[in-house]
Copies of this chain bind each other. A is one copy, B any other.
């Protein structure tokens, strides 16, 4: 069952017991997977539920299916984690999105930090977000997730900090902390998270946060945390944190 190909289908395409597929997924079903009428796929609804759907007809731009079985399963993390990533160099943002989606992130925010070498081109925002969305969608399908993480608009560290009231737990990875005498271990931080909490984790770019940014974050009740004793590259930091949160709440609890 879980070997069936999965597709994330927008809510407007779900009616009664039918799911209609349009867009790029049609090409994937008909040409890449070479599926035929009568075969089954899994359709994921944006709200997190999923169904096995039998293909009833394949047209040029549309695939028609009928729901044959609702699935009771969730591979979603019990913790809602948003990764706010200081814009890194080259294509590292794409790496963070792909791996973050695999590791269970709920949402991403690109952050234009003081030391980001990459400057976000506002004119190319639509094109860039579209590409990012595609990467996140594919990674979510690959890892059998029930929900696709959201990608939010780019903001500055100050905007992020002052607009963070909706999160119960606010953390930032402060490299200086790892060298410092007084800092909070990630174990301490994660142990304070409760199921259902919304967590916001801010990661600096290659050069880390400026002192000004660290101050703004601290003033807005972000807690500096260490992500292990080794210095991680900016694109590895969120992976370490997401894996640790998954391990803590999805694997360790079974012991």
Which of A41-49, A57-65, A197-205 lies on the face that meets chain B? A41-49
Q: How many residues of A contact B (CB 8 A)?
A: 47
Q: Residue A247 contacts which of B104, B181, B243 (CB distance < 8 angstroms)?
A: B243
The residues of B that contact A143 with a CB separation of less than 8 Å are 230-233
CA distance A253 to B250 in the complex (A): 18
Contact yes or no, B186 A247, CB < 8 A: yes
Q: Does any Cβ of B come within 8 Å of A210's Cβ?
A: no
Copies in the complex: 2
| Interchain CA distance A229-B226 in the complex, whole Å | 25
A1-13 vs B, Cβ < 8 Å mask (1 yes, 0 no): 0100000000000
0 or 1 for each of A182-197: is its CB under 8 Å from B? (1 = yes)? 0101111011000000
Q: Does A230 contact B144, Cβ atoms closer than 8 Å?
A: yes
Residues of B within 8 A of A233 (CB): 102, 142-143
Most buried by B among A2, A45, A99: A99
B231 touches A144 (CB 8 A): yes
Identify the A interface with B (CB < 8 A): 2, 45-49, 73-75, 99, 102-104, 142-145, 179, 181, 183, 185-188, 190-191, 226, 228-233, 236, 239-240, 243-244, 246-248, 250-255
